[in-house]
Amino acid sequence: MRPLFKLLFLSYRATSSVRYWIQRRFTSGGIALLVGLGIALPLSFDTENNVTYQALCLIGTLLLTSIMFGWWVRGRFAVERVLPKFCTVGVPVRYRVTVRNLAKRPQSGLAYLETLKDIRPTLNEWIAFQWAEEKRLRRIPIWKRHMRHPFRQARTAPVPIPPVPVGQTAEVSAELTPLRRGLIRFDSVTIGRADPLGLFRALKKQPLPQSLVVLPKRYFMPPVALPGTMKYQQGGVAMASSVGQSDEFVSLREYRRGDPFRHIHWRSWAKTGMPIVKEYEDEFFVRHALVLDTFSTDPYSESFEEAVSVAASFACTIQTQESLLDLLFVGTEAYCLTAGRGLAHADQILEVLASVRARLDAEHFTGLEELVLNHASRVSGCICVFINWDEPRRQLVRKLRLLGIPLLVLLIVERGLAKDVEVGPMADDPQNFRVLEVGSIEEGLARL
């Protein structure tokens, strides 16, 4: 199979390159003429019954003439791109680009084109995706199928640059629609100049590397009453993300075995001649864990993307002024991020979520289980966002329930599979077990 896949992969690379080249090189008029050429070509063989071959020749020579003009751009430019800090997947973002004319003659009829870094997959990544896609499509009726394009990072369009006098700067507002979360890496900027007929562009490229963080999609959520009560937090807020006790000083007392040395009050020891330690106030507050299931068999699974979006929606929605939110997930290693009460902002959680990747080794789910169970003693409640409902996940839920931790379990499933899901260990608390279908996540969240 591999040689066949290699051949298909090469054809994929070639096709995508040609498409990219056409989109950048040809203007909309040029693309229209290319389409005309494609339609006229098969009809042109029958020169007895139609004269389409004449159209073929005319369109062909118009395009060829244009292409002859399309290989050089006279002029020097200094281009600056002003990007926002974040953007959200699927939401168009506008940013400012300034183009300064450094040549000795005014410039007009130019267009600004964005050049992103090539993120097309390697052969192995591509094969993995094809298998996953094949498995996914097999479940879907043929008339409902649509191919995913996970290797397209953003949609851009050429922007006309207004005439730029000598030494002057023109400003354009470019638009970019991110198609996947993560980091968009800009490679260079390109100035295009159409030929006299306005069909083909000559391009001038200048390196200008930059990057833009694309946050996951977020859904509107109603105020959620999360389960759980306040819990004693050793070390208080400041230590919530590490270990130790609160900073709030209460009194002095005699040293007891096991007290940390850093709590010893040296002056009092000097006065009294015996070890005295500072005593701090115990703190109680609400702390929630947001568990994100990253174990998927499909690296570009829609349900995984939706799970990340759901987690992001919770991270944005939960009021963290008075409570803490721990994001627990397993990436390259087990992660725990705490936000709220001044520790970290939701933006930081979103940034982390923007970069979360699916893990294809489902057998390492125990890593997440360990992480959650170790953390369980500190949390008031737990929100679990799962993308599967197999035995290891049910087992984790059972264990958390045995520990007496209130749970809200959200299961993300593909379209049309919600009705087949069994409640399992959440049978006695079905209110806190919600199945969200891809495509109607927002509706599901609104019912929380």
Partner 1 sequence: MKLPPLMLGAVLLFWGWEVDLPYVGGILAVIVEGVRLIRARWDISDEDYNRVWNFCTLLFIGAVVYAFTANQGPSAFGQFINDPGLTTERAAGESGQKTASAMLQWTPIIFFPFLIALALGDRSSVKLTVFSLIARKRKKHREGPPVADKEVHADWVYFGTCLLAASINNNEGNVFFVGLALLLTWALWMRRSRRFALPVWIVVAVTACVVGFFSQQQLGELRRFLEGWAPQWTWRFSGRKTDVDRARTDIGQIGRMKQSGAITVRVEMKDGTPPPTLLRTASYRTYRNAQWFSFRPRFENGPPGSGGPPRGFGRGEGRGEGITNRSPWGTVQQESKPGTWVFRSGPAPMRINIATYVDTRENGDPLPLPLGFARIEDFPNATIKTNNLGVAVASSPSGVAIFDVLYGLNGSIDTPPSYPPFHFGTNPPPILELEVPANEWPALDKIIAGLDLDGKSTNQMIRAVASFFQDNFTYSLWQKTRYGRDTNSTPLEDFLAPTNRSGHCEYFATATTLLLRRMKIPTRYAVGWSVQEITGTSAIIRERHAHAWCLYYLNGQWHDLDTTPGSWVAEENRHASIFQWLGDTWSRVKFEFFKWRAGQSTLRDYVWWIVGPMLLFLLYRLVRRKGAKSRRLNSQAEAAALLRLGLDSEFYQVEKKLVEFGFVRATGETLGELLQRAVRDPRLTSLRDTLQMLLSMHYRLRFDPLGINVDEREVLRQHVRQTLDQLVAARRA
Provide the pairing of β-strand 182-194 with 201-215. Answer: antiparallel
Considering beta carbons, is residue 8 or 51 the nearer one to partner 1? Answer: 51
446 binds partner 1 (CB under 8 A): no
Instruction: For tokens 């800009």, name the residue.
Output: 186
Residue (of 204, 197, 202) closest to 63 by Cα position: 197
Which residues 51-70 are close enough to bind partner 1 by CB under 8 A?
A: 51-62, 64-65, 69
**Contact with partner 1 (CB under 8 A): which of 19, 78, 103, 171?**
171
Sole window of 169-177, 217-225, 255-263, 331-339 interacting with partner 1 (rule: CB under 8 A): 169-177
> Residue 110 or 308: which CB sits closer to partner 1?
110
**What are the φ/ψ torsions at residue 184 (nearest 5 degrees)?**
-95, 125
Output 163 or 342, the one with its CB closest to partner 1.
163
Q: Give the nearest distance from C-beta 154 to partner 1 in angstroms.
A: 13
CA nearest to 216, candidates 256, 162, 179, 161? 179
Query: What's the closest the beta carbon of residue 74 comes to partner 1, in angstroms?
Result: 10
Name the one range near partner 1 by CB under 8 A: 12-20, 23-31, 118-126, 392-400. 23-31
* Helix, strand, coil percent content, the chain, rounded in steps of 5: 35, 30, 35
Residue 400 sits at φ, ψ, to 5 deg, of: -65, -35
Size of the site for partner 1 (CB under 8 A): 61
DSSP 131-159: HHHHHHHHTS-GGG-----TT--EEE--E
* Token couple for 138: 């097999």
Which distant-in-sequence residues (6+ apart) come within 8 Å of 369 by Cβ? Answer: 392, 395, 396, 399
Query: Is residue 82 a contact residue for partner 1 (CB under 8 A)?
Result: no
Closer residue to partner 1 (CB): 99 or 327: 99
Chain positions 173 to 232 lying near partner 1, rule: CB under 8 A, are 173, 179, 193-199
Residues lying near partner 1 in the complex (CB under 8 A) are found at 27-29, 32, 35-36, 39-40, 43-62, 64-65, 69, 90, 106-110, 143-144, 146, 149, 162-165, 168, 170-173, 179, 193-199, 415, 439-440
